[in-house]
Amino acid sequence: MSDTPQIQPAHAQIAHAQLDWDEQGQPRSRAYDDVYFSTTSGLAETRYVFLANNDLPARFAALPSGGRLVIGETGFGTGLNFLCAWQLFEQTAPAGAQLHFVSVEKYPLSRADLQRALLLWPELEAFASELLTQYVALHAGFQRLLFAGGRVVLTLLIGDALEMLPELDARVDAWFLDGFAPAKNPDMWTPELFAQLARLSTADTTLGTFTSTGYVRRALNDAGFRMRRVPGLGHKWEVLKGRFTAESRATAKPWFARPDFAAPERTALVIGAGLAGCASAASLAARGWQVQLLERHAELAQEASGNPQGVLYLKLSAHGTTLSRLIVSGFGHTRRLLERLQRGIDWDACGVLQLAFDAKEAERQAQLANAFANDLLQNLSQNEAQARAGIGLPAGGLYYPEAGWVHPPALCRLLATQPNIRPLFHQEALELRRAGELWQAWAGDRLLASAAVVVLAGAAEIRRFPQSAGLPLKRIRGQITRLVETAESAALRTVVCAEGYVAPARLGEHSLGASFDFKSDDLTPNAAEHVGNLELLREISADLAQRLHAEQLDPAELAGRAAFRCTSPDYLPIVGPLADSAAFANAYAVLGKDARQTPDTPCPWLAGLYINSGHGSRGLITAPLSGELLAAWIDNEPLPVPRDVAEACHPNRFALRNLIRNT
């Protein structure tokens, strides 16, 4: 037995709801002994208590194109309220408007239970089936789901409301309070929770709930909501509705605050068409931005994002670090996007096995297996691992059943193929200039494009622009080896990783990777690194090496591909608005003397200039969600990750650390 303490952070473990079903096929929570919705008039009650009492029919209809409404909910349950709000939004909101729905849920329904519950509402079938398709890879923490081409955005906060809401950065326009009856679940109706609702509210925020319990009304009033009793529906005599009237809230430190930036037009120029650029373009286009996607090559995904197969590799921490939480959220988001691609050609959910190749790794894996839920990862013995993988292995390991491999160019194409995105190939931006309220990209004396917003997504190449030259990005050359599938290697059924990785064949070839070279600038594949990759293969499985006839392969004849990863010193991506570095150092110089100060000087932002880079070895997991994070910064929306994760990815973190280190 190890003497390492068992680490079981609350954020990582989730349990599914335990349900009983009555004679009408309606679900009931076993733990709370309560119903999910009115058993006599579920739809009518939702429409009245939550939609009408928040005045949503009129508010949706009044949204301008490019406008949005943010709904916050306590208790996602079966998603009935979400689906009804979405249906009403489709019926009443203008094209070009967006619905954001943020809901917190401690015990998500299993997919099978959700499917069974939603069968109760045939008129919501079209919406319910989209929800069910995307109801995968939902794990503890923030999970973003996109519907209707990104016009409807759902952010599920999976965990206890009192732990999750403090992490949320959003301005909510309408609240649905729906966390079981106060008598059965007092935890969802506390002053602490209402203080969080108040923190997230503005002067126009409204609130509706099915309860009329006196202490709930009084506590909401105390939190700053002016609550009134109004007639209820059916057997409910009265319900509550209200409006936030108090002054709200503390703001973020100025260097992590939301830039006070209103684009003169909704045009964006994204520089770089790899995963980061395509994801940024997709998230902006879904919000009605007209995007030009500038790329120096003839096509998308020609550099790091151009490998035939990349792995959804989750390097997690049992300690709930910011990186680990970003990975769980990013994995879920990418995994849901992949549902829109063709299995077997574009990706495969074949599972990923991480071998416990030494005692230290085995110890780490044991901690992870304790900390995370079984549907995310499982500890397998050597025999179990071999049975899963279909080949002989030197050890057991951690198995991620929902992970697999991806053909990154297919994901780039999925993201970038949209009416609002215009790719401009063979265009290399050499210089950025400010012209009035717009940014311009130039190559010598040639103007390539201009727009109100520029997103720098050119991996480490962004250092060429003086505006982003100070960001500490490093290039690391990596090479993969392509191995022709053999009759014997076809037995491989999952991705297997140790120091390297090997994937089941795509179109008759396995990808084997990948080397790390911090010095070389030469992208011609070389035999020495093929030799190194074959060594990685033998460490993964001598059996597979034999099945691939590795001993007979001539490294000089092997096919492969090399590209640069782009890595930041803390291995987190760099995503968000850029500040003027000299003015920043000046404005916050006092931190060099006393790091606890928070000067109220506004951050000297470079208005309209943003970055999405530094995705290192895990761009498949971090880049798509970073597109959503970037769009949230630009459009002042709910962040798709906890506030501290967004700050940990913020471009200003380096300048801030530099100032503070001088103390």
Ligand X SMILES: Cc1cc2nc3c(=O)[nH]c(=O)nc-3n(C[C@H](O)[C@H](O)[C@H](O)COP(=O)(O)OP(=O)(O)OC[C@H]3O[C@@H](n4cnc5c(N)ncnc54)[C@H](O)[C@@H]3O)c2cc1C
Ligand Y SMILES: C[S@@+](CC[C@H](N)C(=O)[O-])C[C@H]1O[C@@H](n2cnc3c(N)ncnc32)[C@H](O)[C@@H]1O
42 interacts with, out of ligand X, ligand Y, none, CB within 5 to 8 A per kind = none
- Between strands 310-311 and 352-355, the pairing is unpaired
For the CB of residue 271, give the shortest distance to ligand X in the complex, in Å: 5
Under rule CB under 6 A, residue 400 binds ligand Y:
no
User: According to CB under 6 A, which one of 478, 560, 640, 642 is a site residue for ligand X?
Assistant: 478
Kindly state the helix (H) or strand (E) to which residue 448 belongs, with its residue range: strand 446-451
Binding mask 95-124 for ligand Y (x = CB under 6 A): ---------xxxx-----------------
Q: Is 271 in the site for ligand X (CB under 6 A)?
A: yes
Residue closer to ligand X (CB basis): 138 or 311: 311
Of residues 149 and 234, the one with the C-beta less far from ligand Y: 234
Q: Which is nearer to ligand Y, 135 or 610 (CB)?
A: 135
**Partner whose binding site includes residue 78, from ligand X, ligand Y, none (CB under 5 to 8 Å by kind):** ligand Y
| Selected binder of ligand Y within 26, 38, 53, 81 (CB under 6 A) | 81
Out of 45, 53, 56, 77, the only residue in the binding site for ligand Y (CB under 6 A) is: 77
Using the CB atoms, write b or e for 47-69: b if 16+ within 10 Å. Answer: bbbbbbbbebbebbeebeeeebb
| 191 touches 227 (CB < 8 A) | no
Q: Are 564 and 303 in contact (CB under 8 A)?
A: yes
Least distance to ligand X, CB of residue 139, Å: 18
Task: Specify the amino acid at residue 222.
Answer: D
Question: Which H or E run includes 117?
Answer: helix 111-118
Asked if the peptide bond before residue 514 counts as cis, ω within 30 degrees of 0, the response is yes
Report the nearest approach of ligand Y to the CB of residue 130 (Å).
16
> Left, alpha or beta for 367 (phi > 0: left; psi -120 to 50: alpha)?
alpha
* Site membership for ligand X, residue 277 (CB under 6 A): yes
Task: Give the up-direction half-sphere exposure of residue 79: CA atoms within 13 A in the CB hemisphere.
Answer: 31
- Spatial neighbors of 188 by CB under 8 A, at least 6 apart, are 74, 75, 161, 177, 179, 180, 182
| Cβ closest to ligand X, residue 63 vs residue 441 | 441
**Cβ-based neighbours of 115, under 8 Å, separated by 6 or more:** 132
Torsion on CA atoms 314, 316, 398, 104, rounded to nearest 10: -90
Region near ligand X per CB under 6 A, out of 132-140, 160-168, 472-480, 548-556: 472-480
Q: Between 389 and 428, how does the x/- string for binding to ligand X read (CB under 6 A)?
A: -------------------x-------------------x
Kindly tell me which residue out of 350, 514, 550, 630 binds ligand X, with binding defined by CB under 6 A. Answer: 514
Residue listed under structure tokens 């297997």: 496
Q: Residue 105 binds which entry of ligand X, ligand Y, none, with Cβ cut-offs from 5 to 8 Å by kind? A: ligand Y
Phi, psi of 265, rounded to the nearest 5 degrees: -150, 155
Interface with ligand Y in residues 271-330 (CB under 6 A): none
Pick the closest to residue 36 from 85, 94, 82, 88 (CA basis): 82
Q: Give min distance, CB of 325 to ligand Y, in A.
A: 18
Q: How far apart are CA 67 and CA 97, in angstroms?
A: 5
Residue type, 391: I
Residues forming contacts to ligand X in the complex (CB under 6 A) are: 271-277, 294-297, 302-305, 307, 310-311, 313, 408, 428-429, 457-459, 461, 478-480, 513-514, 563, 565-566, 613, 615-621, 623
Residues forming contacts to ligand Y in the complex (CB under 6 A) are: 17, 36-37, 75-81, 104-107, 160-161, 178-180, 185, 187-188
